[in-house]
Amino acid sequence: MSCEFSREPGCGGNCLSMATDKVLKDVDVSNKRRRSNIRRVVDDLTVRERMMARLAKQIGRGGEVIYHGTRALPKVMRSGKLMPPDLAECTVSFTRSPEVAAYFACLLGGKQDQHSPGVLILDKSSLRQRYRIEPYRYDDACNECEEIVWGRTINVRRHLLGVVSESHVSELLGRDTRQHLPLGFVGWPQAEQHEFKERLLDDGRNFVAEGRASVRRRIIQERESGANV
């Protein structure tokens, strides 16, 4: 398969409307399955993270896949490898959740990081033939649907089904105006950091609210038109 996400030719503005509807369905399903004692990353996503996850899920639909979110997509694509870090736990992490992958891919850093987020969609059955993949939970309070490979460099090219990059999201939502954290962010008081993060999430919440309102209006219009027939 191609490693590019392609839009249907001639879809015009309908692509954004269709993608919005699908995102809303995913949010409703996640809310119904939520466990009160486990925090889910999917509950707190920006609009761009939601859209990146939606596009990744479309590529992986119907197959046994896992996802990897990276903040340095061009580097990964050039090397074709995922390498465990030299510090902390020597693992390469994957997730069964495209929302989790998008969340970690889009985490903001400093301007010097040259942030370039993306989500890799990988064939899990193919990976499993070559690497030992183990379920894992780093944080008992947060369900990240994580699976890991210990101490191995992963050659992703032969297992890669597709990639969703920031440019794919920008085609639907426009260019991202916030590409790094403000200067001196780590030194801000905790309350100011929290307020900044909440502002980032507001767009995601408004996106969901506006989409739900649009769906409700459409349902009402269809009912009214059906009643008038």
> Does residue 131 sit within a domain?
yes
Q: Which of 6, 127, 158, 130 is nearest to 65 (CA)?
A: 127
Structural domain that includes position 201: 14-227
Instruction: Quote the CA–CA distance of 28 and 101 in Å, as a whole number.
Output: 19
Decide which of 142 and 97 is more confident. Answer: 97
> Does residue 8 sit within a domain?
no
Predicted local distance difference test score (pLDDT) of residue 127: 95
> Does residue 1 sit within a domain?
no
> Does residue 70 sit within a domain?
yes
Beta strand 65-70 with 118-123: parallel, antiparallel or unpaired?
Answer: antiparallel
Say yes or no to pLDDT of 96 above 90.
Answer: yes
Express each pLDDT in 4-35 by its tens digit.
Answer: 443 344 454 455 555 556 655 665 555 555 44
Percent of the chain with pLDDT over 90: 41
> Does residue 112 sit within a domain?
yes
> Does residue 4 sit within a domain?
no
pTM for the full model? 0.72
- The residues, ordered by sequence, that sit 6+ positions from 202 with a Cβ below 8 Å of its Cβ are none
Domain count along the chain: 1
> Does residue 25 sit within a domain?
yes
Predicted local distance difference test score (pLDDT) of residue 100: 93
> Does residue 71 sit within a domain?
yes
8 Å CB contact between 175 and 126: no
